[in-house]
């Protein structure tokens, strides 16, 4: 049996950031993932705000390597289309580099994993979790190859369907606090802005559908469409049929895809934004990223908040090891730290999502506050990013 202080389950951005921060604090640990890297991952492929802040906190050299990586595209513009005649522009100030980055998860996750410490991070990739059990001595983890690891504390970085969340925290899925998306990649898309501006649209079909077009470094385009999971079911919405209809018939979009080619199958994934309704800590465990429900309820991005939660998690683990205390009561401050960091942003995102449910009310509110929002956006972005 292998004994370790810390074991991270999941090596996506949240788990990798936890590992990178633990290594920065010279804490040896294990990090486990059922996949080997590079590996494909269904996602919208957009990075904003906390993704930058997290990279900087981990290591300035890592942030510089990210900026120079030829597989990532950085843009200073996001355009949110409320309807065909109303939009909101989010533009980065002239002295700063970007407001959004497009990076395939295949490449971004591999970028992070490639920077894991060879000294402090013991990687078990391609060897997923089989069983997990709590005991007085620690958390016993059994892998697919029957290898056993006993950890003083375990980190659940294993996504929306987290085993750690289900088994140790006893959390269940709340479909009213989850979004479902479909996406695919296209080539030969025309008419995209030279500035690589992000195109995000609200398209109403009894409930708001969020539609994204993100350009990628290899010349392809990521197209995504999604909405709240329970409302998709309630209104009998077929996302695949809807996105195909948008690409073929929407007057602002169809011409861009007239001669475009679909280069992979349409795929689906889930996005949880249920942070305040689930348990994210307990005796000898902490949850990060999607396992903790930290995705933004409005614009649906969770990579950055997941990475920052990994950093906060690593700092808490450092306190646990110093005090030799892994109890639920000692770990309670972890949730307080998450709320301190994310509460205002996530609360605002829930308010925006609720407002957006009414097409006409939301459009009216945007018209009233558009100019003020566009003026204040650069300072807000600066505080939450780099």
Query: What's the pLDDT at 93?
Result: 85
Which residues lie across from 140 on neighbouring strands?
133, 150
Q: Indicate the pLDDT class of residue 330, thresholds 50, 70 and 90.
A: very high
272 contacts 177 by C-beta, under 8 angstroms: yes
Q: Indicate the pLDDT class of residue 43, thresholds 50, 70 and 90.
A: very high
Q: Indicate the pLDDT class of residue 220, thresholds 50, 70 and 90.
A: very high
Condensed to tens digits (0 to 9), the pLDDT of residues 333-351 reads 999 999 999 999 999 999 9
Q: Please identify which residue in the block is written with the tokens 């990579």.
A: 303
Under CATH, what is the fold of the domain 179-268?
A: D-Amino Acid Oxidase; Chain A, domain 2 (3.30.9)
**Buried b vs exposed e over 269-285: b needs ≥16 C-beta within 10 Å?**
bbbbbbbbebebbbebb
User: With 0-12 CB in 10 A as exposed, 13-18 as middle and 19+ as buried, what is 137?
Assistant: exposed
Query: What's the pLDDT at 288?
Result: 98
Task: Name which of 62, 77, 358, 25 is nearest 208 in CA terms.
Answer: 358
Rounded to whole angstroms, how far apart are CA atoms 57 and 323? 24
What is the rounded average pLDDT of the residues 299-322? 97
Q: Indicate the pLDDT class of residue 120, thresholds 50, 70 and 90.
A: very high
Rounded to whole angstroms, how far apart are CA atoms 359 and 157? 36
Q: Where exactly does CATH 3.30.9.100 map onto the chain?
A: 179-268
Cβ neighbours, 10 Å, residue 380: 14
**CA atoms in the 13 A half-sphere facing the CB of 80:** 19
* Residue 95 predicted with pLDDT over 90: no
Please write down the HEC assignment for all residues of the chain: CEEEEEEEECCCHHHHHHHHHHHHCCCCEEEEECCCCCCCCCCCCEECCHHHHHHHHHCHHHHHHHHHCCCCEEECEEEEEEECCEEEEEECCCCCCCCEEECCHHHHHHHHHCCCCCCCEEEEECCCEEEEEECCCCEEEEECCCCEEEEEEEEECCCCCCHHHHHCCCCCCCHHHEEEEEEEEEECCCCCCCCCCEEEEEEECCCEEEEEEEECCCCCEEEEEEEEHHHHHHCCCCHHHHHHHHHHHCCCCHHHHCCCEECCCCEEEEEECCHHHCCCEECCEEECHHHHCCCCCCCCCCHHHHHHHHHHHHHHHHHHHHHCCCCHHHHHHHHHHHHHHHHHHHHHHHHHHHHHCCHHHHHHHHHHHHHHHHHHHHHHHHHHCC
| CATH code at 2-73+101-175+272-384 | 3.50.50.60
Region for residue 351 given its phi and psi (left: phi exceeds 0; alpha: psi -120 to 50; beta: otherwise): alpha
Cβ neighbours, 10 Å, residue 70: 8
For the chain, percent of residues with pLDDT exceeding 90: 96
What are φ and ψ of residue 213, in 5° steps? Answer: -125, 115
156 contacts 287 by C-beta, under 8 angstroms: yes
What is the rounded average pLDDT of the residues 116-124? 98
Task: Name which of 303, 238, 292, 262 is nearest 101 in CA terms.
Answer: 303
Extract the tokens encoding 342.
Answer: 């994310």
- Give me the helix-helix angle, 13-24 and 303-323, nearest 10°: 40
What is the rounded average pLDDT of the residues 229-240? 97
Query: What's the pLDDT at 198?
Result: 95
What is the rounded average pLDDT of the residues 377-386? 91
Choose between 135 and 57: higher pLDDT: 57
Which residues lie across from 75 on neighbouring strands?
100
What is the rounded average pLDDT of the residues 299-314? 97
107 contacts 72 by C-beta, under 8 angstroms: yes
Q: Indicate the pLDDT class of residue 31, thresholds 50, 70 and 90.
A: very high
Q: Please identify which residue in the block is written with the tokens 């802040």.
A: 53
Mean pLDDT value across the chain: 96
226 contacts 181 by C-beta, under 8 angstroms: yes
Condensed to tens digits (0 to 9), the pLDDT of residues 247-289 reads 999 999 999 999 999 999 999 999 999 999 999 999 999 999 9
Q: Indicate the pLDDT class of residue 104, thresholds 50, 70 and 90.
A: very high
Q: Indicate the pLDDT class of residue 94, thresholds 50, 70 and 90.
A: confident
Condensed to tens digits (0 to 9), the pLDDT of residues 136-193 reads 899 999 999 999 999 999 999 999 999 999 999 999 999 999 999 999 999 999 999 9
Q: What is the value of pTM for the model shown?
A: 0.96
Query: What's the pLDDT at 327?
Result: 97
Q: Indicate the pLDDT class of residue 325, thresholds 50, 70 and 90.
A: very high
Query: What's the pLDDT at 123?
Result: 98
Q: Where exactly does CATH 3.50.50.60 map onto the chain?
A: 2-73+101-175+272-384
As a residue count, the chain comes to 386
């Amino acid at each position: 049996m292998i004994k370790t202080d810390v074991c991270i389950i999941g090596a996506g951005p949240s788990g990798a950031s936890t590992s990178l921060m633990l290594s920065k604090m010279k804490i040896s640990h294990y990090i486990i993932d059922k996949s080997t890297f590079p590996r494909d991952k269904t996602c919208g492929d957009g990075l904003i705000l906390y993704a930058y802040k997290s990279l900087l906190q981990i290591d300035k050299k890592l942030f510089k390597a990210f900026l120079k990586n030829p597989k990532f595209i950085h843009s200073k513009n996001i355009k949110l289309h409320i309807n065909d005649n109303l939009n909101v522009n989010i533009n980065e100030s002239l002295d700063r580099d970007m407001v959004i980055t497009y990076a395939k998860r295949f490449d971004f996750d591999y970028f992070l994993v490639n920077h894991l410490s060879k000294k402090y991070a013991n990687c078990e990739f391609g060897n997923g979790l089989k069983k997990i059990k709590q005991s007085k001595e620690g958390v016993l983890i059994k892998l697919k190859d029957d290898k056993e690891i006993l950890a003083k504390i375990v980190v659940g970085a294993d996504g929306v369907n987290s085993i750690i969340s289900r088994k140790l925290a006893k959390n269940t899925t709340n479909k009213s606090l989850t979004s479902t998306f479909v996406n695919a990649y296209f080539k030969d898309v025309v008419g995209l802005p030279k500035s690589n501006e992000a195109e995000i649209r609200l398209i109403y079909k009894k409930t708001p559908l969020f539609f994204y077009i993100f350009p990628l470094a290899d010349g392809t385009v990521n197209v995504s469409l999604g909405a709240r999971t329970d409302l998709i079911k309630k209104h009998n919405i077929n996302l695949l049929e809807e996105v195909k209809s948008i690409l073929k018939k929407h007057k602002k979009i169809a011409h861009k895809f007239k001669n475009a080619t679909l280069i992979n199958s349409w795929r689906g994934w889930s996005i949880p934004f249920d942070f305040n309704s689930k348990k994210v800590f307990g005796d000898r465990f902490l949850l990060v990223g999607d396992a903790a429900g930290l995705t933004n309820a409005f614009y649906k991005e969770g990579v950055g908040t997941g990475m920052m939660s990994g950093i906060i998690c690593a700092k808490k683990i450092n306190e646990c090891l110093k005090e030799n205390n892994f109890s639920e009561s000692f770990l309670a401050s972890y949730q307080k730290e998450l709320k301190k960091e994310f509460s205002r942003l996530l609360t605002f995102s829930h308010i925006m999502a609720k407002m957006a449910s009414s097409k006409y009310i939301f459009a009216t509110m945007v018209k009233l506050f558009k100019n003020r929002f566009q003026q204040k956006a650069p300072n807000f972005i600066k505080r939450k990013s780099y």
